[in-house]
Amino acid sequence: MRARLSADPPSADSTGAGSAGADSTGAAARRAVEAALAELGLPFESPRPGGYLVRLEGQHKLATMTWLIVGTHSLHVEAFFCRQPDENHAAFYRFLLERNGRTYGVHFAVDPVGDVYLVGRLPLGSVTPEEIDRLLGCVLSYSDENFDPALTLGFASSIRREWAWRVKRGESLANLQAFASLADPGGDRNGRGRAGS
């Protein structure tokens, strides 16, 4: 699945001129975000003041691109999870809604076309390096742990077609091993396609 990331961060709340107190709180929140990212050693881009695009590396979902955006009143968190499902929509979205009851700081949400994100909002006064660490840990955990089950529900036919295509061409199956029982029950699971079959 490929995120449709743009160069521009998603909008948070208004980032126009505010009171001196809001400016001070915003500056403190930006420092807290930057301190957390530096301490965690996470690569990020900052296309504008207060906007941070962070790459979180996982095991199942290899990378979760996450925006941290310091607005006038809150920190907005947004991470692409996967595109809209090809099939089995009710079960796919139900699975994610059930997960929402156990999440902290962020939750699964859909955009107008049905693509799925993890989103959250935190008051600026609550933004500390420790809380940023916790939030990013939650984003990574929820994205990584739920990725394979979500894809199994919403993309089973595509996974089977991809598996068959790779086997036919003798391509590696290594990054599809989580779906072996779905795509090829009892078949070749050694991470290589069966050349010539």
Please give the Cα distance from 26 to 62 (Å, whole number): 32
pLDDT per residue as tens digits for the range 167-179: 999 998 888 888 8
Q: Give the phi and the psi of residue 48 in degrees, each rounded to 5.
A: -155, 155
Please give the Cα distance from 74 to 125 (Å, whole number): 8
- Measured between its terminal Cα atoms, the distance across the chain in Å is 27
Supply the pTM of this predicted model.
Answer: 0.81
Closest CA to 124 of 71, 79, 78: 71
12 pLDDT band, cuts 50/70/90, is low
13 pLDDT band, cuts 50/70/90, is low
Contact 163, 179 (CB under 8 A): yes
pLDDT per residue as tens digits for the range 91-149: 999 999 999 999 999 999 999 999 999 999 999 999 999 999 999 999 999 999 999 99
Where helices occur in the chain by DSSP H, the ranges are 20-40, 89-100, 129-154, 156-169, 180-183
As given in the structure block, the two tokens for residue 141 are 């955990």
Contact 122, 77 (CB under 8 A): yes
Domains and CATH numbers, the chain: 20-154 (3.30.1460.10), 157-197 (no CATH)
Q: Residue 8: what pLDDT?
A: 53
pLDDT per residue as tens digits for the range 32-76: 999 999 999 999 999 999 999 999 999 999 999 999 999 999 999
Please give the Cα distance from 61 to 150 (Å, whole number): 11
